[in-house]
Structure 1
Amino acid sequence: MAAIAAAGAATMTTASLAWPATAGSASSGNAPAGKAPGKGRWVLLDSEDFDRPLHVDGAAWRLDPQGKRSPWNVDAFDDDGEAWTKMSGPLFRKQLSTLNVFRKRVAFGRHGWLTAEVAALDKDHDGHPDSRPGLSTTTLPGGQKAARLSEPSWDAGVLIRPTHPLPPHYRVEMTLRGIDFGGKRHGTFDYNGRHNGYTKEACKTRYPWTFTGALSGKSRCQYHDVTRENGFYYMTILDYATPAPHGNPDIHFRRKVIMDGYYSDQPRWKSAATCNPKTRKMYRTFDGTFNGVNALFARGDKFIGGADNNISTEYYAKTACGNASLDKPYGPGKRFSGHLTSAELQPQLLPKASYRFAVERDRTGYTLEMSGPFLHIGQATLRVHHDFIENGRPIWHYNQTPGEYDGRFDRKLVHKGPAGTYVTKHTWPKGSAYPDSFVIGDPHLNYYEGEAVVDDIRLYVPRKDG
């Protein structure tokens, strides 16, 4: 990928678990068991409790002009990126011309430290978005204000990000008070007139973005049906300063560390596992509720897709049940493969209960933390740490400055499509730098549908004498 220039208190719980690499391991690189972050370590820098009304929904829509002059331009893999054109030829441009992308970018919070990025497709070219996604103020049963993130149609995206890149060392956290982006309820994907959180209209597909560009001979409705895959980003760190919703392949090269939910009963996940933090044993994800949280570290040394079509960084998971490189079988008898989910939420307990998701970056690496009433174990705080480079395994684009990285993991990637090939000559060169920016919500323009309620967002920096 092209180098991007860098820009200049825990909840009390009844259980606190660090996630070991393997049973009895003395070198897992994890936080000590029972040790949650102390209040004295961090100083609050910015916070948003949503007490003041949000004005995102009233902001005007703006047509994205696409191309390098667009304020939302990223790289060769974004909406109209060169990669898709090289892989699929003129067909991709033809398909992309069948729709427009309308956007909003609205700063809010004290001194505008947060930004809402909202986007929606206009597929009938009538000059207006086809749906009305947004971010608005809502009131919880106790009377306190919160933010309602609403995405009534899959062909849109809504996320919250920091207006400016995060500092060198930080703790960022958010409190979740509602989630309805799919997964099972009462044992079924079908509830409230929806399937897996999607309304049941036909032709909900990932058109026109795939990992190989445009599909020849396929109409919009013949593309992959997305309704068996829903999800939400609770707290994920990306490697550039201005994240916004794009076609879903775009984000797969941008994530450093990930806490998200991916609720899918696609056959390829039949061998995936979920961790029971209480027993520290894995069970088949298909035997659970499909309300899990993935806590993943994006690898900078391995990529998915093979030599001819590298489509994403590979991932490394750490859980109370053990760790896994997701490109290899894992678990007892190597019986599992694919996602290793850390724990399952209990959405029915919200908004009376809440979940808190946090990411910390210190001098050594990243820590992922989740707190709340998880299935099987009840109220708990789960934490795991991964060094920037651990056992030779790097976190993708971890360096915020050129001096933090020596170029050792740079390589060439080949992305092959039906009509041609795009080559990334340098994925991570010496002298590169990648700012940290978090996202909360849905960064995809052609996947995911639902709504969520966020109670607060807080940013801490280390105490100077800490």
Structure 2
Amino acid sequence: MRRSRKVAIAAVGATVLAAVPAGRPAAVSGAAGRWVLVAHEGFDRPLRVDRAPWRLDPQGPRSPWHVDAFDDDGEAWKKISGSEFERRLSTLNVFRKRVEFGRQGWLTAEIAAVDKDRDGRPDSRPGLSNEALPDGQRVAHISEPSWDAGVLIRPTRPLPPRYRVEMTLRGIDFGGERGGRFDYGGRHNGYTAEPCKTRYPWTFQGALPGKTRCDYPDVTRENGFYYLTILDYATPAPHGNPGIHYRRKVIMDGYYSDDDRWKNAGTCNPRTGQIYRTFDGTFNGVNALFARGDKFREAANNNVSNEYYIKTACGNVSMDKPYGPGGRFRGHLTSAELRPELLPQAAYRFAVERDGAGYTLEMSGPFLHAGQTTLRVHHRFVEDGRPIWHYNQTPGEYDGRFDRRLTHRGPAGTYTTEHSWPKGSAYPDSFIIGDPHLNYYEGSAHVDDIRLYVPGDG
């Protein structure tokens, strides 16, 4: 185990953010200049998240976890589905935990699980706990044994106007191939073999008429993990799958799927700069995406999900257009592939920087084909007329030019977002690490060294 360390308090303005361990790097340099460490969690101290009691989410606007019309029981789904959606939602409960941890409670764990038989208890026991790696290093263990649950780490308070946040990954088991196979360890793509693992009741089109729980689309061909992603509201927590797609600014996640929808997707080889077919890889890729504020996925995701702009060592791609030699590829362009078999002896570091002009996404580690590499891509808040969705933390950073009316259609009606990004709006930055979905993803991960930096003087 690591030895205990003295700590010093670091402050930004009048706000104490956290205690910074002595003897750790107090600053790093990047394209934006010098970053000074103000908050750090190394998971040396015991986590008490799993001991916290479960709370029934009351749903509705008074719920501590309420967000907006695209919430778990939001007005949007009710309008496009009619009474059918409310009947489906009434068949289950959601239990939650919200637990602050770290020095001065600068981080928060958000845990949620579905109670499908409404017996007053969550059906699974997702959690966040300490675990020691073989070398004695203490890390956080994200455990999600069932797909109908979610586990997130987020900051307790919104991020500052300019920052660098980073995390270290020491283990990942949320699907993808191992040894060239999706079936290993008694699981398929990271999911245990029980039947009826579906998207119920949350889909982008609302409730599906005439479909029972087990008739809803199966999820076991789609697994994944959010390494580090920035959302546009202060209190992220696990919710039904569609909601988060309307709230992401910049994204670094893994999406491990051999679904036919992605048969034409590509993956970048950072060493050669060439794109190869994702289906010819290992399905352990990292997506580095900038959510577009000017384009939405109308057909596939009902104007609830943005289109993406992707920058990689193999070039830049707008995901709604074909790319690569001869327009051979379409959809995701994955930036690089992890090698999970090298963990925990090796590690991957993911970082997001926000400076005065835009966002930088950074990933470091022993990537497939490329070896130990650091990959960085930057996108200005508005670049070539293309905005990052909800980039403005204050009203003064945005003039309303990308506001638009969005229509969301379902089997029983429509819901209209009259102003998707109005003048005078503001959207705080908050990061997430883990799984934000209540009806997708299953597995476990080991996370270490979450750090927050702010600009240094000079």
Between stretches 136-145 and 254-263, larger displacement belongs to: 136-145
**How far has the Cα of 1:37 moved from its partner?**
2.1
- Uncovered stretches (5+) of structure 1, i.e. residues with no partner: 1-7, 9-34
Q: Is 1:410 aligned to residue 408 of structure 2?
A: no
Q: Hey, what's the Cα distance between the residues in 2 that align with 1:208 and 1:346?
A: 34
Q: Which amino acid aligns with 2:199?
A: R
Match of 1:317 in 2: 310
State TM-score, norm by structure 2.
Answer: 0.93
1:170, 1:460 within 8 Å by CA — same for their partners in 2?
Answer: yes
State TM-score, norm by structure 1.
Answer: 0.91
2:317, 2:323 within 8 Å by CA — same for their partners in 1?
Answer: yes
Matches within 5 A, 1:93-242: 93-242=86-235
Matches within 5 A, 1:56-455: 56-306=49-299, 309-455=302-448
Q: 1:41 is paired with a residue of what secondary structure?
A: strand
Q: 1:72 is paired with a residue of what secondary structure?
A: coil
1:174, 1:455 within 8 Å by CA — same for their partners in 2?
Answer: yes
Match of 1:31 in 2: none
Q: Which amino acid aligns with 2:334?
A: T
Q: Hey, what's the Cα distance between the residues in 2 that align with 1:315 and 1:307?
A: 14
Q: 1:253 is paired with a residue of what secondary structure?
A: coil
Q: Hey, what's the Cα distance between the residues in 2 that align with 1:321 and 1:332?
A: 11
Q: Hey, what's the Cα distance between the residues in 2 that align with 1:378 and 1:40?
A: 27
Q: 2:451 is paired with a residue of what secondary structure?
A: strand
Q: Is 1:464 aligned to residue 457 of structure 2?
A: yes
Q: 2:296 is paired with a residue of what secondary structure?
A: strand
Q: Hey, what's the Cα distance between the residues in 2 that align with 1:312 and 1:159?
A: 21
Tell which has more relative contact order, 1 or 2 (C-alpha 8 A, sep 6+): 1
Q: Which amino acid aligns with 2:360?
A: T
Q: Deviations over 1:318-347 (max 9, x none)?
A: 110011000010111111001000000000
Q: 1:372 is paired with a residue of what secondary structure?
A: strand
**How far has the Cα of 1:38 moved from its partner?**
7.6
1:205, 1:220 within 8 Å by CA — same for their partners in 2?
Answer: yes
1:226, 1:447 within 8 Å by CA — same for their partners in 2?
Answer: yes
**How far has the Cα of 1:464 moved from its partner?**
2.2
Q: Hey, what's the Cα distance between the residues in 2 that align with 1:219 and 1:100?
A: 17
Q: Deviations over 1:180-225 (max 9, x none)?
A: 0000000000000000000010000000000011011000000000
Q: Which amino acid aligns with 1:443?
A: P
1:401, 1:432 within 8 Å by CA — same for their partners in 2?
Answer: yes
Change (3 A) 1:390 1:128: same
Q: Deviations over 1:98-130 (max 9, x none)?
A: 000000000000000000000000001110000
Equivalent pairs counted in the alignment come to 432
Q: Hey, what's the Cα distance between the residues in 1 that align with 2:81 and 2:104?
A: 44
**How far has the Cα of 1:39 moved from its partner?**
11
Change (3 A) 1:441 1:336: same
Q: Hey, what's the Cα distance between the residues in 2 that align with 1:438 and 1:122?
A: 27
2:177, 2:282 within 8 Å by CA — same for their partners in 1?
Answer: yes
- Uncovered stretches (5+) of structure 2, i.e. residues with no partner: 1-14, 16-27
Q: Hey, what's the Cα distance between the residues in 2 that align with 1:354 and 1:71?
A: 35
Change (3 A) 1:63 1:307: closer
1:260, 1:295 within 8 Å by CA — same for their partners in 2?
Answer: yes
Q: Hey, what's the Cα distance between the residues in 1 that align with 2:439 and 2:446?
A: 21
1:308, 1:414 within 8 Å by CA — same for their partners in 2?
Answer: no
Q: Which amino acid aligns with 1:397?
A: H
Q: Which amino acid aligns with 1:373?
A: P
Q: Hey, what's the Cα distance between the residues in 1 that align with 2:285 and 2:301?
A: 32
1:133, 1:157 within 8 Å by CA — same for their partners in 2?
Answer: yes
Q: Hey, what's the Cα distance between the residues in 2 that align with 1:386 and 1:39?
A: 13
Q: 1:216 is paired with a residue of what secondary structure?
A: coil
1:307, 1:414 within 8 Å by CA — same for their partners in 2?
Answer: no
**How far has the Cα of 1:149 moved from its partner?**
0.3
Match of 1:37 in 2: 30
Q: 1:426 is paired with a residue of what secondary structure?
A: coil
Q: 2:30 is paired with a residue of what secondary structure?
A: coil
Q: Hey, what's the Cα distance between the residues in 1 that align with 2:441 and 2:268?
A: 24
2:243, 2:304 within 8 Å by CA — same for their partners in 1?
Answer: no
C-alpha RMSD of matched pairs (Å): 1.4
Q: Hey, what's the Cα distance between the residues in 2 that align with 1:306 and 1:261?
A: 23
Change (3 A) 1:38 1:142: farther
Identical-residue share of aligned pairs (%)? 78
Q: Which amino acid aligns with 1:297?
A: F
Q: 1:111 is paired with a residue of what secondary structure?
A: helix
Q: 2:424 is paired with a residue of what secondary structure?
A: coil
Q: 2:86 is paired with a residue of what secondary structure?
A: helix
Change (3 A) 1:445 1:428: same
